[in-house]
Amino acid sequence: MKEYDIIIVGAGASGVFASYELTKLQNSASVLMIDKGTTVSKRICPISSGAVETCIKCDPCNIMNGYGGAGTLSDGKYNITTQFGGDLHKYVGEETALELMEYVDKVLCGFGGAEAKLYSTLNAKVKALALENGMQLLDAKVRHLGTDRNLRILQKVFDYTKDRIDTLFNRTVTSVEQVENGKFEIKTNRGEVFRCKDLLLAAGRSGSKWISGVCEKFGIAMKSNRVDIGVRVELPAEIFRHITDEVYESKIVYKTDKYGDMVRTFCMNPYGKVVAENTNGIITVNGHSYADPALHTANTNFALLVSSSFTEPFKNSNDYAESIARLSNMLGGGVLLQRFGDLIKGRRSTKERMHKSSTVPTLKATPGDLSLVIPKRQLDDIIEMIYALDRIAKGTANEDTLLYGVEVKFYNSEVAVDSNLETSIPNLYALGDGSGVTHSLSQASASGVLVGRKLAGEYGVNE
């Protein structure tokens, strides 16, 4: 058994920035960070490398796990805003939340992110265009690093912290106990035992079930969160070029006429590609884009998501979303793909129809029928949103627009924490997306900065 002052479970955005602050600020704390995945250099998806054509359910999934978390192989998009991406501002205040996100941006720029353009939706022409057509463009500043640049930056952050922070990869924490003197004892799947005074739960979205289990064990209150269900849209980049060239990441929100539901665009990837993700054995879909023009495709992709919340007696929104994703996996052996024209005509897409499509898919997926998977209400919402977007980006509702399903955003039940993200159990913190408090790279990173600074101060900070 080895003792540390601080143990961080999870090397995602929040864990990385907590470890960065504990390195940057002089203090005496001994720190261990543990992650289920591997190092930055070894995080290679077999699909991206060309070894396989479809997801083979690697355990753990290199896209979802490892240093930097699910954000590492994403398109490295950092949204500086409190209008979406989480509720950190509700805990620390609007001004502090934005200051923390601006600080994260400054750190990233210091490691090579400054060469990436900072976009803004302020005074954007597309904002007025959206309003004229019954939609709203949410305000944000956006730093798009690109998957390739994001990898280089995270490697530099790791190199900066590695001599200060002990890091163990390819480990899962199998148990958490509280022992004498209020210390925490954790065990790993390799039989290792560690103790610490301060424990940070930073396991991200893929670790949401694990964090919920720890909270239930310690009697920490949790509040049911929403779940987002939808599709990933892929179409020729020219269709959205007048929007993406100006604001890059456009979070467009639309209230449907039929049900009054809110539908939004999410994670827009100009000239990007669609990718598969493995979350606890469930294959879902996402999108990436690169900074290097040589890696650009002819397509743009983005998600269309419908938020669903539940009341008594059903509380577990993630189980609901998982059941839909599993049905898609059952019918398609993974990700399903359908032309918008086929969906509207009530017929499944086939290999023959896909070969005739003018939009060439960037992910190998099974042609099928999304209406057999996605509930009618959510599917009606998505179809209405596509026609609404067609008013501001002509061609969105083209027959050859591609829809991949399903895209699901799992959120942990919101863990009850204070303004320092400390739970009701002293010295036990819940941060990042796994806490349910944050839902984005910027806010998750900011939460790590917040907790890292607090603990550095307790162990003798000296700038």
d(CA 153, CA 290) in angstroms, rounded, equals: 14
d(CA 424, CA 441) in angstroms, rounded, equals: 25
Nearest-5° angle of CA 434, CA 195, CA 204? 10
| CB-based contacts of 192, cutoff 8 Å, min separation 6 | 168, 171
Cβ atoms 201, 10 nearer than 8 A: yes
On the CB side of 241, how many CA atoms lie within 13 Å of its CA? 7
Which residues in 128-145 are b (16+ Cβ under 10 Å) and which e? ebbeeeebbbbbbbbbbb
Residue-level pLDDT at 231: 97
First to last CA, the chain: 32
Closest C-alpha among 9, 70, 17, 29 to residue 215: 9
Nearest-5° angle of CA 425, CA 427, CA 431? 90
d(CA 224, CA 234) in angstroms, rounded, equals: 32
Q: Which residues of the chain have pLDDT under 70?
A: 123, 225, 311-312, 314-315, 461-463
d(CA 58, CA 44) in angstroms, rounded, equals: 11
Q: Find where tokens 């709203």 sit.
A: 136
Fold of 2-118+143-223+414-458: FAD/NAD(P)-binding domain (3.50.50)
> Could you give the C-alpha distances from 292 to 147, 148, 210, 272, in angstroms and in order?
9, 7, 37, 11
Give the start-to-end residue ranges of the domains of the chain: 2-118+143-223+414-458, 227-409
Closest C-alpha among 104, 128, 135 to residue 118: 104
Longest CA–CA separation in the chain, Å: 68
Closest C-alpha among 284, 258, 287 to residue 383: 258
* This prediction's pTM: 0.89
Residue-level pLDDT at 281: 83
d(CA 262, CA 331) in angstroms, rounded, equals: 28
pLDDT in tens, 282-326: 899 999 999 899 999 999 999 999 987 776 676 677 788 889 999
Residue-level pLDDT at 315: 66
